[in-house]
Amino acid sequence: MLHRIVPLTRHLLLAGLTYSVLPAAHADTVSVAVAANFTAPMQKIAAAFEADTGHKAELSFGATGKFYAQITNGAPFQILLSADDTTPAKLEKEGKAVPNTRFTYAVGTLVLWSAQPGYVDAQGAVLKTGDFKHLAIANPKIAPYGLAAMQTMDKLGVTARVQPRLVQGENIAQTHQFVATGNAQLGFVALSQVMADGKITSGSAWQVPANLHEPIHQDAALLETGKGNAAALALMQYLKGEKARGIIKSYGYSF
């Protein structure tokens, strides 16, 4: 009896070892183009994704409009995490994104922010009364948060007043940098850039009411280059999961 039990035990042990290394043995890498406003949450999600699945996400951050140009010119990204919902839809229509893979991974929030505590009031009246020298926004032609900023200023009737003071960042990350370094006294940025764990981390901010601009629906799309990639398919699912959504929510996004 002992002679029969030992081989069986060894067989089960080897089977367990094989199963335990299976994720790493089949791990893959996915190249992800990420809207600049989503930098901090996506870095956390990518780390959790790798720890949980063994797959690795290589992240590139920038303006959605620039990513669109790069993708249409053959850039080998496999997933796009856009700052809007129109760009993924356009890529699908043009045959660059896999049909029926698009979904809204986050709804963004625009804020007027200053690195100086107490500078931005709770109603954003500083836009009309403040003696600021520069107001930073992202380029509205390629960055959805920049477009939302322009729509907000139009609704408030302050565009003409502040136009001479506007400085444009290439994307929302550069816009935030302008304000963080004091080169602009205030600017329109993404709430996620100045919030962590549900709290504003520095300076002062006014959360722009959603009715002052078009909704910032941020959609993900599986690109044609990623449809056969196990890591790409896994990440698209992971973004819909409870852990990823918890991270996203902690940076001020909604769904």
Quote the tokens at residue 28.
């893959």
> Residue type at 70?
Q
> Where do runs of H (alpha helix) occur along the chain?
2-25, 39-53, 64-72, 86-93, 126-129, 144-156, 159-162, 172-180, 230-238, 242-250
User: Contact, 64 vs 138, CB < 8 A?
Assistant: no
Nearest alpha carbon to residue 92 among 104, 80, 108:
80
* Residue 19: per-residue pLDDT: 33
* Residue 130: per-residue pLDDT: 81
Tell me how far apart the alpha carbons of residues 67 and 175 are, in angstroms, rounded to a whole number. Answer: 18
Task: Give the dihedral sign, CA 98/103/36/242.
Answer: negative
CA dist 19 to 13, 29, 185, Å?
A: 10, 20, 56
> Residue type at 49?
F
Residue with tokens 């959360």: 207
Tens of pLDDT, residue by residue, the chain (255 residues): 434 433 333 333 333 333 333 444 478 999 999 999 999 999 999 999 999 999 999 999 999 999 999 999 999 999 999 999 999 999 999 999 999 999 999 999 999 999 999 999 999 999 998 889 999 999 999 899 999 999 999 999 999 999 999 999 999 999 999 999 999 999 999 999 999 888 899 999 999 999 999 999 999 999 999 999 999 999 999 999 999 999 999 999 999
* Residue 131: per-residue pLDDT: 86
User: Contact, 191 vs 207, CB < 8 A?
Assistant: yes
Please list the residues that pair with 209 across neighbouring strands. none
* Residue 70: per-residue pLDDT: 98
DSSP state of 222: E
Rounded to two decimals, what is the model's pTM?
0.85
User: Contact, 165 vs 183, CB < 8 A?
Assistant: no
| CA angle 146–198–206, rounded 5-degree value | 45
Phi and psi at residue 170, to the nearest 5° = -65, -35
Set out the domains of the chain in order of their start, with CATH numbers. Answer: 26-107+216-250 (3.40.190.10), 109-212 (3.40.190.10)
